[in-house]
Amino acid sequence: MGDIVRVKENSFFPADMIVLSSSEPEGMLYVETKNLDGETNLKLKSVAKDLVEPFSEDSTYANLAGTIISIEKPNNRIYKFDGNMNLAININRHEIPLSNDNVVLRGMSLRNTEHVTGIVVYAGHDTKIQKNSTGAVYKTSDIMKITNKQILIVFLIQILCAAIGASIGSTWTV
């Protein structure tokens, strides 16, 4: 967490990141989420409004001081993100709210945007896509459950009848 990463056009995002800057005007960027939800249409994401100026292409970052990022714990909700960034610019502290529109997830690919820069918030097994992946759920209908119980009962009755028949048969011939 906390690494600054630059992703170029047609590349995949290596981790869940808060977008700090984009090569597009107004901090806009386009992502494809085919690996997450199967949709091939482009989705619009953006840099948080208060981060556009401090992290613009011509900014020297000279007036930026310590940044504190408060985010939710890693979870599996890929369409929801809540967090805040406390950024000090010229000795003034600004609390900047962050939403799902300001975050790109691992597995998304950058399209129609030359490059973006972001700060990693979740990596490895803590990424939302990793938390969201679960094993297949085996579904059974009520009829199948009833049929399975009845087959088990018939099998037990057959074993009981065979045991009774074997014991009677062994004493009958003596």
Query: Which pTM value belongs to this model?
Result: 0.71
Looking at the structure, give the CATH architecture of the domain made up of residues 4-132: Distorted Sandwich (2.70)
- Please state the domain extents for the chain: 4-132, 140-174
Q: Taking all residues of the chain, what is their mean pLDDT, rounded to a whole number?
A: 87
Burial class (CB in 10 A: 0-12, 13-18, 19+), 130: middle
Contacts of 85 (CB under 8 A, 6+ apart): 18, 48, 51, 67, 68, 69, 70, 95, 96, 98
What are 68-103's pLDDT values in tens digits? 888 999 998 888 999 998 887 667 777 889 999 999
Query: Is the CB of residue 116 less than 8 Å from the CB of residue 22?
Result: yes
Helices and strands counted in the chain (H then E): 3, 10
As a whole number of Å, the CA-based R_g of the chain is 29
> Residue 174: pLDDT above 60?
no
pLDDT value at residue 26: 86
Across the range 36-57, mean pLDDT stands at 84
